[in-house]
Structure 1
């Protein structure tokens, strides 16, 4: 689940919610709600979390998309992240949001 992956990845990297908030520009209260699964996360925030948490957006949402996590754990490159941001609307159309 996306919420679990954000929380787990943050802890693996040794980043507190407060530090993640400072680095990402996302409010700590929002991060807390995202990590508990209380609210939905926008694609822009998924991309921001992926960048800060040094993983791919596909890794974060793999379960929601029915993808095999083992095949997509490699960190995303800045070039890939830039391409994802550029093509966000097409990506949303593919995943059905």
Structure 2
């Protein structure tokens, strides 16, 4: 669904006309019409104004793509790698300690402080976001030394020949 279609759907869901949304967002009605028709793409600050007029966050209006737009396409891959590393650490903790439960505390400002309860029952403990980030950084620092000890630098053809021979036994 395009940004314009999402704006229109949310506007209709709220029971607003294009004129009413324009007034709430401080944007001319014809401009709202062009956004919804896909003839014009709103800038980031305009998306925020429209979301505000609709009484939602830009992320609620646009969806996950909002974050991609915020950080820029060139940074999305980097963010995905960071999320994957973070998820990997959480998965490793669950495997090692038996359980991981993610929780968060929401402040009045709307900011959330995530934390994780690690382990089961009386043997559980809490790790905070900064602790998970420390584990990610330590893991990244440790991997090169471990890989240096494990890597096989022989030519690939030789390795394939050895593995094939082993499989054929």
Q: Could you tell me the TM-score, scaled by structure 1's length? A: 0.63
Deviation string 1:8-40 (CA, Å, 9 cap, x unpaired) is 111111111111112211010000000011111
- Structure 1, unaligned stretches of length 5 or more? 68-90
**Residue in structure 2 matched with residue 96 of structure 1 by the alignment:** 73
The answer to whether the 8 Å contact 1:23/1:52 transfers is: yes
- SS of residue in 2 equivalent to 1:44: helix
What are the superposed Cα offsets for residues 42-84 of structure 1, whole Å, 9 maximum, x if unpaired? 11110011111122212333264698xxxxxxxxxxxxxxxxx
- In structure 2, the partner of 1:41 is 42
Number of equivalent positions? 73
- Helix, strand or coil at the partner of 2:7: helix
Structure scoring higher RCO (CA < 8 A, sep ≥ 6) equals 1
Question: Secondary structure of 1:39's match?
Answer: coil
SS at structure 2 position matched to 1:32:
helix
Output the CA distance in 1 between the equivalents of 2:22 and 2:62: 20
Q: TM-score, normalised by structure 2?
A: 0.38
- Structure 2 unpaired stretches of 5+: 75-169
Correspondence for 2:117: none
In terms of fraction of residues, the more strand-rich structure is 2
CA contact (8 A) 2:24 2:53 kept: yes
When residues 4 and 40 of structure 1 are mapped into structure 2, their CA distance, relative to the original with a 3 A threshold, is same
- Check whether the contact 2:35–2:42 (CA below 8 A) recurs between aligned residues: yes
What does residue 29 of structure 2 align with?
A: 28
Tell me, in whole angstroms, the C-alpha distance in 2 between the residues paired with 1:46 and 1:11: 17
Query: Match of 2:17?
Result: 16
CA RMSD of aligned residues (A): 2.5
